[in-house]
A and B are shown apart, each in its own frame.
Chain A
């Protein structure tokens, strides 16, 4: 089996993690390849993984009755995808559809949670990175909610 350590080590998301902690993470990781149009996950399914996109783009969709699937956001190479694995009840709130061929690292949520419980340093770093991602998405959502481009330049 190919060791995913060098791939995970090179990800921006893990750049501040210690070597030891990255090795811990590798134990929860698998490499995945999905084709254009395939779903990484769908709304309501168990959120048992989170993903680091190595290549390609994913659309996060929400199905709205009468409007069909609305794209909420796109996530690209180098970005993490999904935080519902971290928060009960561990269900996906959106669907993630591959816009292109997708290569990603899938990290088992249950495995990660267990390791975070056992290793608080890993847990802290992981929570901090997830919080940064959440803050960034929250800011983006607020900007979009303001509909800045509506009235004035």
Chain B
């Protein structure tokens, strides 16, 4: 059914950051936030495909790869969601509207939006892995008639860690989208599911023989999610995962993200599972 992942090439010189201005800072959860960026150039725009990432450069601090989490149909408005985990993302956390940031990209492969046409689609997200999948969901919702049943399964640590909670509430109320959320731990005030996201796969309404699955989250979670999807009958050639490695240059030159013969920044981050399977259990290379 599905055969390839799409690639696009970004700016003319991919090593030169383009200046963007911070339009909005959005606190998502206690330790995650989104930056909404616009190019300084009034005619500038960044066309990307769902699943791709940019290198964001906090001047004087450093550069990090972050998946694009906004809508590909709005190429002047870039949204990136991240967690404060290091020096650069902590510096990003202190950016305010009007501040400048450098953007290189978009880089990497995308979710298989074309291959999924005419099929059921299941999106399985763990934690902040929902961010790289959000553009795929926007895409599907803009082209809803192109797809069969669409199911979003989202697992996170606790109710307080749920990303995009307002949007999730909106999506849950839609008749053309099934959304199931689970948390790892909760108090009795939480009225939803408690347990790992992989458990939701067994209950989700989709036709395993006619489904494309897109999975994003911690690699261990993805591994178990793939096992559950396969147990339900989804072919591993119809399962796509987004790999996270230490991307630096974004164009497959520096080798920081190399997994044997694969450069995750260029050949990934989105891989068809049967292609990446032999490397999936590799320890950090």
Contacts and interface: CB of A to CB of B under 8 A. Distances in A.
Contact of A149 (B184, B199, B203, B224): B184
Contacts of B234: none
A72 interface: yes
B129 A153 contact: yes
Contacts of B155: 149
Contacts of B192: 74
Interface stretch (A14-22, A103-111, A120-128, A136-144): A136-144
Contact of A143 (B186, B190, B220): B220
B218 A144 contact: no
Interface size for chain B: under 10, 10 to 19, 20 to 34, or 35 or more residues? 20 to 34
A69 B191 CA distance: 13
Interface string B246-278: 000000000000000000000000000000000
A148 B126 contact: yes
A69 B186 CA distance: 9
B193 interface: yes
B221 interface: yes
B187 A147 contact: no
B221 A152 contact: no
Nearest to B220: A148
A131 B194 CA distance: 21
Interface of B is mostly: mixed
B202 to A, nearest CB: 8
A63 to B, nearest CB: 10
A99 B193 CA distance: 10
A65 interface: no
B188 A69 contact: yes
B161, B193, B203 pick with most chain A CB within 10 angstroms: B193
B132 to A, nearest CB: 8
A75 to B, nearest CB: 8
Contacts of A134: none
B196 A78 contact: no
Contact of B184 (A67, A77, A139, A144): A144
Interface in A8-61: 57, 59, 61
A35 to B, nearest CB: 16
A144 B155 CA distance: 11
B103 to A, nearest CB: 20
Interface string A64-100: 0001111111101110000000000000000001010
B126, B190, B194 pick with most chain A CB within 10 angstroms: B194
A71 B190 CA distance: 9
Contacts of A139: 224
Interface string B126-157: 11110100000000000000000000000111
Given A99-B191, A150-B157, A143 B224 contact: yes
A69 B156 contact: no
B102 interface: no
B232 to A, nearest CB: 12
Contacts of B203: 76-78
Interface of B: 83, 85, 126-129, 131, 155-157, 161, 182, 184-188, 190-196, 198-199, 203, 216-218, 220-221, 224, 244
6 contacts: A74-B192, A97-B188, A136-B199, A139-B224, A143-B221, A149-B161
Interface of A: 57, 59, 61, 67-74, 76-78, 97, 99, 136, 139-140, 143-144, 146-153
